[in-house]
Amino acid sequence: MPVVVLTPDPNGAGVDVIGPVTIHRFRWPHGYLAGRRIYNPFDLLVFLRMLLIFVIKATKIVNAYQIQHVFACWAIPGGLAAFFVRVFTGVPYTVWALGTDISKFKNIPILLRAIFHFATGVYANSEFLRGEMRGLTGQPIDILPTRSRLPEPVMPQNPIEVPEKMLVVAFVGRLERVKGIDIFIDIARQVKKERPDMLFVVFGDGSLKESVTAAEKEGLVRWAGQVSPGELAYYARRIDVLCITSREESMPVVVWEFRDYCRILSFNVGDVARHVPSDAIMDDEEALVQRLMKMQKNRQ
């Protein structure tokens, strides 16, 4: 049975074959949907464009490869697209919710209920998210965790300087309000007043990148931009503390990727507290600031 993946790509359309998997990429120059506001007319048009592309291309793939089942990552837009593909082709689908989709659309419960109702199976990537979804679907919700390990390190083309004597604190993720990049910048501002020997580094891209570039000009953080997994592995060996400052989470993949490399300090969000030591969970921003103030450069 063929396995075919359909995904957006900012670098353009194409087809890749990796073993038994064929990856179809379509050009998507509009960035992440996560930072867009669903009630903004322009953002709504962008969302509808992605949905339309997914439905048209997925329908063609289902027919061309005689696909017998669609597995949708994210309830929206993936699960919604799979619903329409089912309408047009009769092919059943399964939905895997990952957190941001439920957080963003839980105030439109009828939409999510419809997607889950017609799915043959529903997964969540954490116990926390399963609890959030329980009232939205009448069927069992299984856990399919998002676990990942960093690959072998790859030297970045233009690596940022990470001095050996500085204690390095990192943010890794989408530059969106839900991920708390603004909180991370505020923490850097408070800590660096007393601890100039700390370096705050940001990895990722998103709708709040202008705030990050402004913080970089202010000397608060260094921004590495969007890096590959191999490049992230290169930096991981130089990072002392990973901060998870999210306002809302399911189970961030970076916990799995970094827990063997460095300390993790996190707010009590999603399933994080299930998988890190209890003293790694911070009650609030002030507690995180105070913990960083007291830290010495002592790698695990």
Greatest Cα pair distance, the chain, in angstroms, is 62
Would the CATH topology of 3-143 be identical to that of 167-294?
Answer: yes
pTM for the full predicted model: 0.85
pLDDT at 298 over 80: no
Q: Which of 291, 292, 148, 287 is nearest to 230 (CA)?
A: 148
pLDDT at 300 over 50: no
Name the CATH superfamily, with its identifier, for domain 3-143. Answer: Glycogen Phosphorylase B; (3.40.50.2000)
**pLDDT at residue number 235:** 95
Q: Say if residues 1 and 22 touch (Cβ distance below 8 Å).
A: no
Q: Which of 161, 224, 220 is nearest to 195 (CA)?
A: 220
Mean pLDDT calculated for residue range 48-76: 96
In this predicted model, which residue has the larger pLDDT, 165 or 270?
270
**pLDDT at residue number 165:** 85
What is the CATH number that goes with domain 167-294? 3.40.50.2000
Residue 32 corresponds to which tokens in the numbers above? Answer: 């992440």
In this predicted model, which residue has the larger pLDDT, 6 or 107?
6
**Burial letters 275-285, b for 16+ CB under 10 A, else e:** bbeeebbbeeb
Mean pLDDT calculated for residue range 176-193: 96
Half-sphere exposure for 77 (CA within 13 Å, toward CB)? 21
> Range with the lowest mean pLDDT among 28-32, 91-95, 260-264, 276-280?
28-32
Strand order of the β-sheet with 241-244 is: 222-225, 198-203, 167-172, 241-244, 263-267, 281-282
**pLDDT at residue number 297:** 65
**pLDDT at residue number 36:** 77
Residue 273 corresponds to which tokens in the numbers above? Answer: 């507290």
Domain boundaries defined on the chain: 3-143, 167-294
Give 14's strand partners: 25
